[in-house]
């Protein structure tokens, strides 16, 4: 090879080397997250999996989220600490169930009679300012960022024995959320905490008398309708407040365009639940063949509603921020009542 040929080939090699990454379309190393939800696999198919599948597809290899269901990596009650330590990167749950140290924890999940319908939740957060309060609260806690809140189903009793009066609740062992359980003890309910996947068997064996964890859609979807016989049409809350959270360092490491994509997928998850639960609650009350409907008369049920007002007053005294949240609930529900149908009946 003469000098001229060598220089030509060397120059070509430099050009190829300089352009090879572009020609080959090499991708950045993918960001990998582990996200655990409060929901078991059957429920997770609806409340989280479609959104995560969509994100992974749209992220096109730049980021991958591995989805885990209730208790698969850590028990639900330990999710906050695991996320804070970075053992997992993100969580979908309510503040109460994951034992969040935030002072808004008590309002996550089912806060008695705070909401009547699922649309109340996004309205309270994004028009009445609860989102700013949640952001402020979690900004005071190192290592975890609150990302977004949405509505799930209402809270009803599904029981082995019929409930037709408040007296029927006394002594019943019920699987429920921490705050809801604390409130229900006023009526003789015995709250029970179990791993999510153990609930159906506990119903079958008599360890539990029922659940106050969901609406009728979940009772059928997750198998609890197989271990109970009755569904109480009165509810203690119109919609569960659930959120997405992330380890702060993990969230800050995500590029802005992928943050935007994840926010859109969270919104997609929130929207899906709005109609899945709304339609399911009505259809299964009418066409469901496993649970017989029972009702406590309105005059008697008002005792529960009145007791909730006292419960609100007690919670409002626990901190200035709690008082602010309770005041928003009061103002919002007063507005809805004045607005009349279809907002309130």
Q: CA-to-CA distance for 25 and 4, rounded, in angstroms?
A: 32
| HEC letters along 261-289 | HHHHHHHHHHHHHHHHHHHHHHHHHHHCC
User: Are residues 33 and 64 in contact, defined by beta-carbon separation less than 8 angstroms?
Assistant: yes
Confidence of residue 5 (pLDDT cuts 50, 70, 90): low
Structural domain spans, the chain: 31-152+240-281, 155-238+288-339
pLDDT for position 18:
41
Q: What pLDDT was estimated at residue 274? A: 96
- CATH class for the region spanning 31-152+240-281: alpha beta
Least confident segment among 4-18, 156-170, 294-308 = 4-18
Residue 73 reports pLDDT greater than 60: yes
pLDDT exceeds cutoff 80 at 16: no
What the block records as the tokens of 299 is: 């005059």
Cα–Cα dist 173/84, whole Å: 33
Tens of pLDDT along 125-135? 999 999 999 99
Q: What is the pLDDT of residue 25?
A: 43
Summarised one tens digit per residue, pLDDT across range 84-118 is 999 999 999 999 999 999 999 999 999 999 999 99
11: pLDDT strictly greater than 60: no
Fold of 155-238+288-339: D-Maltodextrin-Binding Protein; domain 2 (3.40.190)
Structure tokens at 223: 């198998």
For the ranges 27-36, 141-150, 196-205, the lowest mean pLDDT is seen at: 27-36
Q: What are the pLDDT digits (tens) for 230-278?
A: 999 999 999 999 999 999 999 999 999 999 999 999 999 999 999 999 9
pTM: 0.89
Taking the C-alpha atoms of residue 132 and residue 70, their distance in angstroms, rounded to an integer, is 28
The 10 Å CB-count burial string (b at 16+, else e) for 19-55 is: eeeeeeeeeeeebebbbbbbbbeebbebbbbbbbeeb
* pLDDT tier for residue 152 given thresholds of 50, 70 and 90: very high
pLDDT confidence of residue 7: 42
d(CA 86, CA 34): 10
Mean pLDDT (the chain, rounded) = 93
pLDDT confidence band for 15 (50 / 70 / 90): very low
Q: What backbone torsions phi and psi does residue 156 show, to the nearest 5 degrees?
A: -120, 165
Alpha carbon distances (Å) from 15 to 2, 22, 98, 216: 20, 12, 55, 66
Confidence band of 24 (pLDDT split at 50, 70, 90): very low
Grade residue 345 by pLDDT with cuts at 50, 70 and 90: confident
Confidence of residue 29 (pLDDT cuts 50, 70, 90): low
pLDDT at 28 over 70: no
């Amino acid at each position: 090879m003469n000098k001229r040929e060598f220089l030509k080939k060397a120059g070509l090699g430099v050009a190829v080397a300089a352009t090879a990454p572009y020609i080959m379309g090499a991708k950045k190393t993918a960001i990998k997250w582990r996200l655990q939800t409060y929901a078991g696999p059957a429920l997770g198919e609806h409340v989280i999996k479609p959104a995560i599948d969509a994100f992974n597809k749209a992220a096109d290899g730049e980021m991958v989220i591995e989805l885990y269901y209730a208790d698969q990596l850590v028990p639900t009650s330990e999710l906050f600490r695991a996320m804070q330590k970075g053992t997992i990167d993100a969580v979908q749950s309510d503040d109460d169930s994951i034992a969040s140290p935030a002072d808004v924890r008590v309002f996550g999940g089912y806060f008695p009679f705070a909401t009547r319908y699922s649309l109340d939740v996004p309205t309270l957060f994004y028009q009445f300012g609860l989102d700013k309060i949640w952001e402020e609260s979690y900004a005071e806690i190192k290592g975890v960022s609150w990302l977004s809140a949405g509505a799930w189903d209402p809270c009803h009793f599904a029981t082995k024995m019929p409930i037709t009066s408040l007296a029927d609740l006394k002594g019943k062992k019920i699987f429920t959320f921490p705050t809801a359980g604390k409130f229900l003890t006023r009526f003789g309910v015995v709250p029970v905490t179990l791993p999510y996947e153990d609930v159906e068997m506990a119903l079958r064996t008599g360890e539990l008398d029922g659940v106050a964890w969901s609406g009728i859609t979940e009772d059928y979807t997750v198998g609890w309708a197989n271990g109970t016989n009755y569904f109480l049409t009165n509810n203690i809350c119109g919609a569960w407040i659930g959120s997405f959270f992330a380890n702060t360092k993990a969230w800050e490491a995500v590029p802005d365009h992928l943050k935007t994509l994840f926010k859109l997928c969270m919104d997609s998850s929130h929207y899906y639940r709005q109609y899945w639960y709304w339609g399911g609650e009505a259809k299964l009350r009418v066409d469901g063949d496993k649970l017989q409907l029972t009702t406590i008369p309105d005059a008697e049920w008002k005792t529960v509603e009145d007791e909730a007002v006292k419960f609100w007053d007690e919670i409002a005294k626990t901190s200035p921020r709690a008082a602010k949240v309770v005041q928003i609930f009061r103002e919002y529900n007063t507005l809805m009542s004045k607005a009349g149908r279809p907002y309130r009946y």
